[in-house]
Amino acid sequence: MHWDDLRVFLAVAQAGSLRRAARALGFGQPTVIRHLRQLEQSLGTRLFERTPDGHRLTKWGQHLLPMAQSMADAAAAIDRRRMAFGDDAGGVVRVAAGEWVARFLAPHLADLAGAHRDLTVELDETHMEPDLDRREADLFIRHGLPARGHLVRVGLGTIAAAIYGATRLVEAQPATRTDARWRACPWVAYDAPHEYFRTMAWLMEHLGDQQPRVRASRFSLQVEAIRAGAGLGVLPCFVGDADPALVRLTAPIAELSADYWLLVHPDLKSVPRVRLLSAWIRGAFKEGKPALQGR
């Protein structure tokens, strides 16, 4: 029995289909099928039943699942501890963050790269919360105080947001500077799958039955649409204030101000390269505090 076979088994059990498991693993579907067959042959039993909705665990698959999960947890723990074996600050550190934070950190990476040539930073812009126990990321930056748990939490600071519009749109429509903007002006926002975002809930509440003229799945696309004059939109102040093509139309919106936290697994907090990057992130937030708070 091989660990790679068990890893594929776990992925299929969690994803519920070969296609989704292959995507999560970065494998081709034939490779997933091959690993499953090898595992079933070594155990002498079927582990999944094919259903119209995907793949469902058999009785024997259900018995195997907690044991395979324990092996996966042990492998993840070994992988985390492996990072602590070295005593230098070189290597790869993966940082996961939402779109606003990733946008803030990315321009500053040049200074870090110049000072630490042996350090490689992987900046993952994501809407999902990574599993730090399984090293889906080494560091995670999120807004809002997380629930109590085993992860180490470090406060970073606040990011403020306001309403912005392109200069030419503001000059053409005086209503952009008044409360009439909600009904009289076009708007740019996230698309429907992202309406659960706090900024979207706030914006849609103010727009009422009016729909945004442009909706996009990524923050970077919204910025470009707002800059082009497609409509008004909510932007973090460090983005909007720094862009000469944009005009800030409100003070920072108190309801959208968010405190951000850096999370790291206890096994990794003393790893030199993780510690170095943690300190750098804290320093970037401290140095950028006026811009981040819209001062």
Give the tokens for residue 80: 């985390």
Architecture, CATH, for domain 3-83: Orthogonal Bundle (1.10)
Nearest-angstrom CA–CA distance, 126 and 16: 23
Distance between the two ends of the chain, CA-based, in angstroms? 60
Domains 91-157+258-292 and 161-256 share a fold: yes
**How many angstroms separate the CA atoms of 109 and 104, rounded?**
10
pLDDT at 1: 67
CATH code, residues 91-157+258-292: 3.40.190.10
Say what the pLDDT of residue 88 is. 55
**Residue numbers in the chain where pLDDT is lower than 50:** none
pLDDT of residue 209: 86
Domain boundaries 161-256, corresponding CATH code: 3.40.190.290
Phi, psi of 84 (to 5 degrees): -85, -5
Per-position b or e across 123-143, b if 16+ CB within 10 A of its CB: eebeeeebebeebbbbbbbbb
Q: 186-238 pLDDT, tens per residue?
A: 999 999 888 888 899 899 999 988 889 999 999 999 999 999 999 999 999 99
Q: Where are the domains of the chain?
A: 3-83, 91-157+258-292, 161-256
Decide: 231 and 186 in contact? Cβ < 8 Å: yes
At 108, list the tokens: 């500053």
pTM for the whole thing? 0.71
Q: Which tokens belong to 272?
A: 């030199």
Between the alpha carbon of residue 1 and those of residues 37, 45, 57, 68, 209, the distances in Å are 11, 13, 19, 11, 59
